C-alpha cells in the first residue's frame, strides 16, 4: 500500500475560513472534497502539499434545493446522492447518468459533485509515481518544457476526464465560486482553461461552492453516454452529453452537445447546435451531428485504454446513440 | 474406485481457513511486526540497460532514521534462479537490465524516511545499447543482455516426433498462421512482502509471501552464501500467487541482507507499481502454427514455433519453453509433431511462470486455427475436436501416458448444456458461441526435488494434526489435506488442524506450482492417514476383540464392520491409546511422488512428465457490438475433467476464477511497454483486470472419472481450465461477427477495424 506523504490537515467549519487559509498558504494548500483524486495523486508524489483543507465540515456546501428558477446542488453533495436524487433522475437524467458512471459505487459515496468538476487533467506520463517519472525528462504538466505524448507539442495535452462536467455544460448549468469578501457565478464551461497544465480556472483563494442547474423549460431531454473498457472503475475514454429542448411539433428549439475525455477541457460541439436548431431529429441530421462530434474530438495518445483514432470514432458513435435515444423517447410520447 | 461412497471427498467443503480470512483475522506478511523492526525500500534502475559504476549512499546515511543501505557490492554469494542451468540473478544488480531492476535497498525507522533516503542515493550509470523487441534481440549483433547467451537466446526447446514433413505432404489440407499473446500481470491481490530476522546464532528467519518456502530457502542460501539449514522460511497466509510467487525476488534478498547488516528485523512490502514492474509477467509470445489434416478433419501433423519475450532474466525459461511444446500434445492425438520454442532476453521486466505456464499462448493459437480449419473443411468445430480428442489409454507421440481422460465427454456435455447446435452460426444476431479445449499436467517431473511429505498425528482428545509441506496460497490446499485425513479417519475436516509452509517444521516440499499440490500432497496425506488408521485399527481390534481389518472409522465412531451399535468414539479410542501398555503415540508418515512418470530423454525429449493429465472443454457465448467492437461475454460453460473432485466448491472456484482470468487475458488485460521498455500502466487503474460487471454467467460441469494415480482418483484443476477460456472467447467472437482476432487482447478497436476492413472488402 502506498502511503500519504506527511502534511498538515485542517477542517474549518466555514467557507470563509477556507478562503482565508487558501489566501494565506497559496500553492502549498489544497482543498479536500472527497479526496478520490487528490489523495491518489498525493500518494504518487505528484503534488507536494503542505496543508490540506477539508471541506467536510462545512454544512453550507451540502444540500439540494430549488430556488429562483434554479435547482441548486451544494458542491460537497456526494455523487451517490446525485445519482439517486428523484428530481435529478426525473429532470436531468444526463446528470444522474454521469454521476452513476463515475468510478464505482464506493467512489461515488466518497466523491463529490464539486470535486468531479475540479478533477485534474490526466496523462499516462503524469499519473505515475515520482520514481517512475524519473526515467523521463520533466514534462509541461510537472513544470518542465516537453510533452512526451506530442513530442513537438508546445503545451500540455493532459486530458480532462470528468464525467460530470459535460452533463452540466449540456444542461446550461452554472457554478458559484466564492472567495474572501465576494463571489461570482459563471457558466460551468468557464471553469475550464483548456490548458492541460492548469485546467481549472479557480483563482487563488477561491472555492467552488454550488452548482446551479436551470429548471427545465418545456420538453427537455438529456443523456450522458460513456465509453470505458470495463463495466466499472475506469475513467471515460470518450464521453458524450447531449440536451435537446423539443417543442410539440418535434422541432428542436435548443440543443447542446458536449464531449469529454477527448481534450484538456470538456468540449462543446458548437456546430451541432447550429445544425439542429429549428429542425427535427431525423436520421440524416443525427448522422451529420455525429460526424461533427467526431471532427470536434482531438484526443491524443495519453491514456492506457484506447487509441486516439478509436476514441474519435466513439465520439461519433456515442453521439449517434445519444441522439437516437432522444429521438426514440420522442416517438414514445408521440411527438 | 468410483463406486465407493465417500463421506467427505467430493462434497462441498467451506475452506477450513475461510472464516479467519473473510473476517480479516488472518495475518498476511504485511500485517506482521517484530520489536525493533525497520522498514526497507528498494531502489530500481532509471535506465533499461546500464552498468552500475557506483552507488554512493553516504548522503542517505546522514538522513536521520536511516540505518543501512545495501547494494550489489554487498552480495557475496552465487547467482540464483529457478533452474540450475539458468542462474542469472544477483538480487541487487551491478548491471541494470530493465527500468526498475533493483540496484540498492535502504532500511530506516519508518517508510517515509526510507523513501526519502532513496532519493539521496546517487547511482552512476553507464548506459548501454538496448533491445526491446524479441525478434530484434535474436538477430546477430543485437546488444547482449547477458554476455554468455548468444543472440540473447536464454532457452531453446525442440521436439520432433514422427515425420512432420511427410505428414504435411500426405495431408489433404494444410493451414498456417501467426498468433500473438500479450504481457499480463498476475494481478495478485496481496502484493509481495517479506519480514526478515537474523539472530545471534547465525540463523536467518524470513516470513514471506511465497508459493514455495523450499525455493526461497534454496536460492537465499546461494545468494547469501549461508547453509540452507541456517535459513528458515515461513509462509504466513498468502493472497494468491498464480505462479508468480514461486521464485526468489530481489526484495527478499534485500530484506535478508539488511537484517544481517543491521541485526534488526526488516520488513519490505512492495507497492503495486513494484509488484507489476519488478517481479514477473506472463511472457508475451509469438506463435506460428502449421497443421495438416485429412479431409475428414483428422489431424496428421502439427508444427508449432514459439518466440517468447523473456525480459531481463531467465526465471522459469527452460521449463516454460518445454511446457509450450509439451502441452500441445495433451488434448488431441497428433501423430506427427514438431516444435521449436525460443525464449530471448530483452531489456524489459521479467517474464516468468503464470497459471498455464507457457501452455496458454500456443493453445490460443492452435484452438483458433482448428476453428479456421473446421470452417474451411465445413466441419462442425465440436466434431473436429471429438474426432481428434485424446482418449483414456492413449500415449502421445511424445510419450505422455493418459490413464484417464474424459475430454470427449466434456465436449459432448458442454455443447449440450450450452445448446451449441442451436446457437452456432446465427447470422444477424451479433451473438456467437465458441469452443476450445485444454489440458495440463498434474505436477511436472523434470528433475530437482519433487516429492511431497506429510505427518499425521492423533491428539489425546481425538483431534488430528496434519503437518504438510504443501503451501496454501488461497487455492484451498489446507482444506484438501484436511478432507483427505478426515475421510480416512471418519472425521470431519473441522476436526483437523493443518500446519503448513514452514521450512523448519513441515516436511520438505517444493511448493505450489505446476498444479501438483492436490495430486502430490493429497497422496502423501492419504498414505500418512492410512498409516494412522492402521495403527489405530490394531488398538481398536484389541479393545473390541476383532480383526484389525474389520475396524471401520466413520462419523467420528470406531466399530467392527456390521456392528455400528457397539462403537466407541474416535476421541475415546485416542484417549485409550495413550494409556495402552507403556503408552503410545499415533503418528503416521507419508511421502509421495508418482512412479509412473518417465524422465524425458535428453536428446529426443520423449518421456512422461506427469502422473496424470487434466482435460477441459469450454464454451464461451459472446455478444459483439458491431458498431463499436465491444464484446460482452454472456456465458462460459466449463466441462472439467479433474478426475475425482475432492472439494466441489473448491473445484468450482478454480473453474470460475479461470473463466474470469481468461476473460481478462482475452479482452482487456495488457501490459503496455513504453519506448524505453518501461511499463506504462503499473496500476490496477490502467492495467485492467475484469470487474464483477465484466464477468457474467459461468456454468461448471464436472465430467471426470477417477484417475488411477491421483488421491481418490483426483487430478489437477488449477491451470488446464484457464488455457481453454481465451480461445473459446476468440472463437465465439468469430462466430458472432466473422472477425478473426489473432493478436491478443481482442480489444474493441481491433474488432472494429477488422469489421470495417471486412465491409470494405465486400464492396470492392
Final residue belonging to a domain, choices B225, B255, B277: B277
State whether A79 and A191 are in the same domain: yes
B111: which residues sit within 8 A by CB, 6+ positions away?
A3, B39, B41
State whether B268 and B288 are in the same domain: no
Cell of B61: 546515511
Burial of B143 by CB count in 10 Å (0-12 exposed, 13-18 middle, 19+ buried)? middle
Sheet hosting strand A174-179, strand order edge to edge: A64-67, A70-74, A207-214, A174-179, A182-187
State whether B425 and B522 are in the same domain: no
Q: How far apart are CA A187 and CA A168, in angstroms?
A: 9
Q: What is the CA radius of gyration of chain A?
A: 20
Which residues of chain B make contact with A309, given a CB cutoff of 8 A?
749
Q: How far apart are CA B90 and CA B80, in angstroms?
A: 7
Q: How far apart are CA B563 and CA B554, in angstroms?
A: 12
State whether A239 and A207 are in the same domain: no
Contact at CB, B44 and A131, closer than 8 angstroms: yes
pLDDT of residue B448: 77
- Classify residue A141: in a domain, yes or no: no
- Classify residue B388: in a domain, yes or no: yes
DSSP labels, B519-588: HHHHHHHHHHHHHHHHHHHHHHHHHHTS-GGGEEEETTEEEETT-TTS-EEHHHHHHHHHHSTT----EE
Q: Which residue has the cell 429548471?
A: A215
- Classify residue A25: in a domain, yes or no: no
| Angstrom distances, CA of residue A330 to CA of B97, B345, B724 | 62, 61, 47
Q: Which residues of chain B have pLDDT under 50?
A: 1-3
State whether A177 and A311 are in the same domain: no
Q: How far apart are CA B203 and CA B197, in angstroms?
A: 8
Phi, psi of A315 (to 5 degrees): -60, -40
Question: Residue B664 in contact with residue B603, Cβ under 8 Å?
Answer: no
Q: Give which of B693, B745, B751 to mutate to test A binding, by max A Cβ within 10 Å.
A: B693
Which residues of chain B make contact with A317, given a CB cutoff of 8 A?
627-628
Give which of B665, B658, B614 is closest to B638, Cα–Cα. Answer: B658
Cell of A260: 469529454
DSSP labels, A247-301: -TTS-EEEEEEEEESSSSS-EE-HHHHHHHTTS---HHHHHHHHHHHHHH----S
pLDDT of residue B4: 61
Q: How far apart are CA A285 and CA A289, in angstroms?
A: 6
Give which of B260, B251, B209 is closest to B231, Cα–Cα. Answer: B260
pLDDT of residue A47: 85
Phi, psi of B681 (to 5 degrees): -130, 60
> How many Cβ atoms are within 10 Å of B349's Cβ, its own excluded?
29
Contact at CB, B685 and A307, closer than 8 angstroms: no
How do beta strands B631-641 and B613-624 pair?
Answer: antiparallel
* Helices (H), ranges, B635-721: 648-663
State whether B295 and B412 are in the same domain: yes
- Classify residue B163: in a domain, yes or no: no
Instruction: Give residue A335's Cα distance to chain centre.
Output: 32
> Which residue is closest to A307 within chain B, CA to CA?
B749
Final residue belonging to a domain, choices B535, B557, B592: B592
- Partner-chain residue, chosen from A3, A129, A317, that has the shortest CB–CB distance to B273: A129
| DSSP strands (E only) in chain A | 8-10, 29-32, 51-54, 64-67, 70-74, 174-179, 182-187, 207-214, 219-227, 238-246, 252-260, 267-268
- Partner-chain residue, chosen from B46, B269, B691, that has the shortest CB–CB distance to A232: B691
State whether B76 and B48 are in the same domain: yes
pLDDT of residue B428: 82
Cell of A179: 472567495
Phi, psi of B214 (to 5 degrees): -60, -50
Number of structural domains in chain B: 3
State whether A174 and A278 are in the same domain: no
- Classify residue B208: in a domain, yes or no: yes
Question: Residue A120 in contact with residue A199, Cβ under 8 Å?
Answer: yes
Q: Which residue has the cell 490548458?
A: A195
B650: left (phi over 0), alpha (psi -120 to 50) or beta: alpha
Contact at CB, A2 and B46, closer than 8 angstroms: no
B182: which residues sit within 8 A by CB, 6+ positions away?
B284, B669, B670, B671, B744, B745
For residue B565, give how far its alpha carbon lies from the nearest alpha carbon of chain A (Å): 58
Question: In B, what residues contact A, Cβ < 8 A?
Answer: 30, 44, 46-47, 99, 111-112, 118, 191, 269, 271-273, 627-628, 668, 672, 676, 678, 680-682, 685-688, 690-694, 747-749, 752
Give which of A243, A40, A244, A52 is closest to A161, Cα–Cα. Answer: A40
State whether A187 and A290 are in the same domain: no
State whether B218 and B87 are in the same domain: yes
User: Which CATH number characterizes residue A166's domain?
Assistant: 3.30.465.10
Q: Give which of B115, B276, B696 to mutate to test A binding, by max A Cβ within 10 Å.
A: B115
Q: How far apart are CA A133 and CA A137, in angstroms?
A: 8
Question: Residue A213 in contact with residue A164, Cβ under 8 Å?
Answer: no
Q: How far apart are CA A94 and CA A216, in angstroms?
A: 13
- Classify residue B155: in a domain, yes or no: no
Q: How far apart are CA B181 and CA B665, in angstroms?
A: 9
**Cis-peptide, bond into residue B745, ω within 30° of zero:** yes
- Classify residue B634: in a domain, yes or no: yes
Q: What are the residues facing B268 on neighbouring strands? A: B194
State whether A241 and A257 are in the same domain: yes
State whether B431 and B467 are in the same domain: no
A122: which residues sit within 8 A by CB, 6+ positions away?
A158, A159, A160, A161, A235, A302, A303
State whether A242 and A197 are in the same domain: no
Question: Residue A94 in contact with residue A241, Cβ under 8 Å?
Answer: yes
* Residue ranges making up the domain that contains A270: 219-332
Q: Give which of A100, A149, A229, A239 to mutate to test B binding, by max B Cβ within 10 Å.
A: A229
State whether A258 and A242 are in the same domain: yes
Cell of B459: 491428539
Nearest 5°: the CA angle A61, A65, A70 is: 105
> Which residue is closest to A302 within chain B, CA to CA?
B680
State whether A193 and A323 are in the same domain: no
A190-219 tens-digit pLDDT = 999 999 999 999 999 999 999 999 999 889
State whether A97 and A183 are in the same domain: yes
User: Which CATH number characterizes residue A245's domain?
Assistant: 3.30.390.50
Contact at CB, B269 and A234, closer than 8 angstroms: no
pLDDT of residue A1: 65
State whether B476 and B409 are in the same domain: no
Cβ-count burial B601-635 (b if 16+ within 10 Å, e if not): eeeebebbbbbbbbbbbbbbbbbbbeebbbbebeb
Q: How far apart are CA A335 and CA A330, in angstroms?
A: 5
Q: Is the pLDDT of residue A53 over 90?
A: yes
Give which of B612, B599, B606, B601 is closest to B162, Cα–Cα. Answer: B606
State whether B57 and B200 are in the same domain: yes
> Which residue is closest to A6 within chain B, CA to CA?
B112
State whether B522 and B661 are in the same domain: no
For chain A, give percent helix, strand, coil, nearest 5: 35, 25, 40
> Which residue is closest to B271 within chain A, CA to CA?
A1
Q: Which residue has the cell 479456421?
A: B372
pLDDT of residue B2: 43
For residue B749, give how far its alpha carbon lies from the nearest alpha carbon of chain A (Å): 6
- Classify residue A80: in a domain, yes or no: yes
| Angstrom distances, CA of residue B221 to CA of A99, B93, B233, B251, B451 | 55, 17, 11, 15, 21
State whether A253 and A229 are in the same domain: yes
Which residues of chain B make contact with A229, given a CB cutoff of 8 A?
668, 688, 747-748
For residue B369, give how far its alpha carbon lies from the nearest alpha carbon of chain A (Å): 27
Q: How far apart are CA B282 and CA B744, in angstroms?
A: 13
- Classify residue A86: in a domain, yes or no: yes
State whether B573 and B515 are in the same domain: yes
Phi, psi of B571 (to 5 degrees): -60, -40
> Which residue is closest to B667 within chain A, CA to CA?
A229
Q: How many helices (H) and strands (E) does chain A have?
A: 12, 12
pLDDT of residue B3: 44
User: Which CATH number characterizes residue B385's domain?
Assistant: 3.30.365.10
Give which of B712, B704, B594, B709 is closest to B651, Cα–Cα. Answer: B704
Contact at CB, B628 and A231, closer than 8 angstroms: no
Cα first-last separation, chain B: 63
State whether B430 and B292 are in the same domain: yes
* Residue ranges making up the domain that contains B563: 18-25+451-592
Report the sign of the C-alpha dihedral through residues B476, B482, B485, B491, in that order.
negative
- Classify residue B432: in a domain, yes or no: yes
Instruction: Give residue B57's Cα distance to chain centre.
Output: 39
Number of structural domains in chain A: 2
- Partner-chain residue, chosen from B46, B191, B691, that has the shortest CB–CB distance to A135: B46
- Classify residue B684: in a domain, yes or no: yes
Contact at CB, B678 and A310, closer than 8 angstroms: no
- Classify residue B675: in a domain, yes or no: yes
State whether B727 and B705 are in the same domain: yes
Which residues of chain A make contact with B754, given a CB cutoff of 8 A?
none
Q: Which residue has the cell 488455457?
A: B723
Question: Residue B642 in contact with residue B97, Cβ under 8 Å?
Answer: no
State whether A309 and A186 are in the same domain: no
Amino acid at each position: 500500500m502506498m502511503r500519504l506523504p506527511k502534511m498538515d490537515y485542517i477542517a474549518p467549519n466555514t467557507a470563509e475560513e477556507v478562503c482565508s487559509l487558501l489566501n494565506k498558504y497559496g500553492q502549498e494548500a489544497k482543498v479536500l472534497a472527497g479526496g478520490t483524486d487528490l489523495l491518489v495523486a498525493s500518494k504518487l508524489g505528484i503534488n507536494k502539499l503542505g496543508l490540506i483543507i477539508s471541506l467536510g465540515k462545512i454544512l453550507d456546501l451540502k444540500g439540494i434545493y430549488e430556488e429562483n428558477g434554479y435547482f441548486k446542488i451544494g458542491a460537497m453533495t456526494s455523487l451517490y446522492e446525485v445519482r439517486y436524487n428523484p428530481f435529478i433522475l426525473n429532470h436531468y437524467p444526463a446528470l444522474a447518468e454521469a454521476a452513476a458512471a463515475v468510478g464505482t459505487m464506493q467512489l461515488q459515496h466518497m466523491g463529490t459533485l464539486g470535486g468531479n468538476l475540479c478533477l485534474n487533467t490526466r496523462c499516462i506520463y503524469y499519473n505515475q509515481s515520482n520514481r517512475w517519472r524519473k526515467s523521463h525528462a520533466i514534462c509541461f504538466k510537472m513544470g518542465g518544457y516537453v510533452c512526451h505524448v506530442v513530442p513537438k507539442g508546445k503545451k500540455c495535452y493532459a486530458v480532462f476526464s470528468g464525467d460530470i462536467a459535460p452533463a452540466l455544460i449540456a444542461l446550461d448549468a452554472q457554478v458559484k465560486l466564492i472567495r474572501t469578501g465576494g463571489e461570482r457565478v459563471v457558466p460551468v464551461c468557464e471553469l475550464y482553461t483548456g490548458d492541460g497544465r492548469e485546467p481549472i480556472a479557480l483563482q487563488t483563494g477561491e472555492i467552488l461552492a454550488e452548482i446551479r442547474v436551470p429548471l427545465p423549460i418545456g420538453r427537455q431531454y438529456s443523456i450522458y453516454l460513456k465509453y470505458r473498457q470495463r463495466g466499472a472503475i475506469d475513467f471515460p475514454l470518450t464521453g458524450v452529453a447531449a440536451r435537446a429542448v423539443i417543442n410539440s411539433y418535434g422541432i428542436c428549439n435548443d440543443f447542446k452537445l458536449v464531449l469529454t475525455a477527448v481534450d484538456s477541457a470538456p468540449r462543446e460541439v458548437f456546430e451541432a447546435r447550429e445544425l439542429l436548431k429549428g429542425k427535427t431529429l431525423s436520421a440524416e441530421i443525427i448522422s451529420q451531428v455525429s460526424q461533427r462530434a467526431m471532427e470536434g474530438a482531438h484526443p491524443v495518445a495519453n491514456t492506457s485504454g484506447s487509441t486516439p483514432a478509436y476514441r474519435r470514432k466513439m465520439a461519433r458513435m456515442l453521439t449517434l446513440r445519444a441522439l437516437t435515444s432522444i429521438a426514440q423517447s420522442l416517438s414514445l410520447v408521440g411527438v | 474406485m468410483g463406486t465407493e461412497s465417500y463421506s467427505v471427498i467430493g462434497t462441498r467443503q467451506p475452506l477450513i481457513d475461510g472464516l479467519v480470512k473473510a473476517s480479516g483475522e488472518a495475518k498476511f506478511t504485511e500485517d506482521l511486526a517484530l520489536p525493533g523492526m525497520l522498514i526497507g525500500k528498494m531502489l530500481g534502475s532509471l535506465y533499461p540497460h546500464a552498468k552500475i559504476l557506483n552507488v554512493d549512499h553516504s548522503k542517505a546515511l546522514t538522513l536521520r532514521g536511516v540505518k543501512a543501505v545495501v547494494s550489489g557490492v554487498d552480495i557475496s554469494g552465487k547467482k540464483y534462479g529457478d533452474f540450475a542451468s539458468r542462474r542469472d540473478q544477483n538480487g541487487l544488480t551491478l548491471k541494470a537490465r530493465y527500468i526498475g531492476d533493483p540496484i540498492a535497498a535502504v532500511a530506516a525507522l519508518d517508510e517515509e524516511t526510507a523513501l526519502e533516503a532513496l532519493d539521496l542515493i546517487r547511482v552512476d550509470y553507464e548506459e548501454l545499447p538496448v533491445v526491446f523487441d524479441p525478434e530484434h534481440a535474436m538477430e546477430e549483433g543485437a546488444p547482449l543482455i547477458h554476455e554468455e547467451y548468444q543472440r540473447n537466446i536464454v532457452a531453446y526447446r525442440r521436439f520432433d516426433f514422427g515425420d512432420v514433413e511427410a505428414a504435411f505432404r500426405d495431408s489433404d489440407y494444410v493451414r498456417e498462421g501467426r498468433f500473438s499473446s500479450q504481457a499480463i500481470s498476475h494481478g495478485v491481490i496481496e502484493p509481495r512482502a517479506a519480514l526478515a530476522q537474523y539472530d545471534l546464532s547465525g540463523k536467518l528467519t524470513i516470513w514471506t509471501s511465497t508459493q514455495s518456502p523450499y525455493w526461497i530457502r534454496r536460492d537465499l542460501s546461494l545468494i547469501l552464501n549461508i547453509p540452507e539449514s541456517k535459513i528458515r522460511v515461513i509462509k504466513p497466509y498468502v493472497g494468491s500467487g498464480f505462479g508468480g510467487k514461486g521464485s526468489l525476488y530481489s526484495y527478499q534478498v534485500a530484506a535478508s541482507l539488511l537484517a544481517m547488516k543491521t541485526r534488526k528485523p526488516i520488513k519490505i512490502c512492495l507497492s503495486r507499481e513494484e509488484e507489476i514492474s519488478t517481479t514477473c509477467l506472463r511472457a508475451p509470445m509469438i506463435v506460428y502454427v502449421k497443421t495438416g489434416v485429412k479431409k475428414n478433419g483428422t489431424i496428421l501433423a502439427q508444427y508449432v514455433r514459439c518466440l517468447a519475450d523473456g525480459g531481463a532474466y531467465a526465471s522459469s525459461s527452460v521449463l516454460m519453453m518445454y511446457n509450450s511444446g509439451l502441452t500441445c500434445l495433451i488434448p488431441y492425438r497428433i501423430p506427427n509433431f514438431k516444435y521449436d520454442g525460443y525464449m530471448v532476453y530483452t531489456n524489459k521486466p521479467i517474464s516468468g511462470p503464470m497459471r498455464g505456464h507457457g501452455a496458454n499462448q500456443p493453445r490460443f493459437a492452435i484452438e483458433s486455427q482448428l476453428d479456421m480449419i473446421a470452417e474451411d473443411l465445413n466441419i462442425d468445430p465440436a466434431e473436429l475436436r471429438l474426432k481428434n480428442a485424446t482418449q483414456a489409454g492413449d500415449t502421445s507421440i511424445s510419450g505422455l501416458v493418459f490413464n484417464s481422460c474424459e475430454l470427449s465427454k466434456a465436449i459432448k456435455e458442454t455443447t449440450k448444456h450450452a445448446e451449441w447446435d442451436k446457437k452456432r452460426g446465427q447470422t444477424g444476431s451479433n451473438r456467437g458461441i465458441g469452443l476450445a479445449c485444454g489440458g495440463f499436467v498434474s505436477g511436472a517431473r523434470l528433475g530437482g526435488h519433487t516429492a511431497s511429505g506429510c505427518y499425521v498425528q492423533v491428539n489425546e482428545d481425538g483431534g488430528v494434526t496434519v503437518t504438510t509441506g504443501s503451501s496454501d496460497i488461497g487455492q484451498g490446499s489446507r482444506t484438501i489435506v484436511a478432507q483427505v485425513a478426515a475421510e480416512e479417519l471418519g472425521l470431519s475436516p473441522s476436526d483437523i488442524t493443518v500446519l503448513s509452509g514452514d521450512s523448519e517444521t513441515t516436511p520438505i516440499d517444493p511448493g505450489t506450482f505446476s498444479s501438483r499440490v492436490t495430486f502430490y500432497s493429497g497422496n502423501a496425506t492419504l498414505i500418512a492417514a492410512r498409516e494412522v488408521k492402521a495403527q489405530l485399527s490394531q488398538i481398536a481390534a484389541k479393545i473390541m476383540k476383532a480383526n484389525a481389518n474389520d475396524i471401520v472409522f466413520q462419523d467420528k465412531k470406531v466399530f467392527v464392520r456390521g456392528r455400528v451399535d457397539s462403537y466407541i468414539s474416535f476421541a475415546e479410542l485416542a484417549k485409550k491409546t495413550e494409556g495402552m501398555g507403556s503408552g503410545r503415540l499415533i503418528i503416521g508418515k507419508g511421502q509421495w511422488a508418482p512412479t509412473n512418470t518417465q524422465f524425458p530423454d535428453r536428446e529426443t525429449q520423449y518421456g512422461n512428465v506427469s502422473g496424470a493429465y487434466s482435460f477441459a472443454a469450454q464454451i464461451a457465448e459472446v455478444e459483439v457490438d458491431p458498431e463499436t467492437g465491444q464484446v460482452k461475454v454472456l456465458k462460459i460453460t466449463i466441462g472439467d475433467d479433474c478426475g475425482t473432485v475432492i472439494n466441489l466448491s473448491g473445484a468450482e472456484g478454480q473453474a470460475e476464477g479461470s473463466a474470469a482470468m481468461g476473460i481478462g487475458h482475452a479482452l482487456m488485460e495488457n501490459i503496455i511497454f513504453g519506448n524505453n521498455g518501461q511499463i506504462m500502466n503499473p496500476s490496477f487503474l490502467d492495467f485492467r483486470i475484469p470487474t464483477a460487471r465484466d464477468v457474467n454467467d459461468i456454468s461448471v460441469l464436472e465430467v471426470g472419472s477417477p484417475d488411477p494415480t491421483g488421491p481418490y482418483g483426483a487430478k489437477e484443476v488449477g491451470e488446464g481450465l484457464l488455457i481453454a477460456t481465451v480461445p473459446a472467447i476468440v472463437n465465439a467472437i468469430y462466430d458472432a461477427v466473422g472477425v478473426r482476432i489473432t493478436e491478443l487482447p481482442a480489444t474493441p478497436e481491433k474488432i472494429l477495424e477488422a469489421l470495417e476492413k471486412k465491409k470494405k472488402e465486400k464492396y470492392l
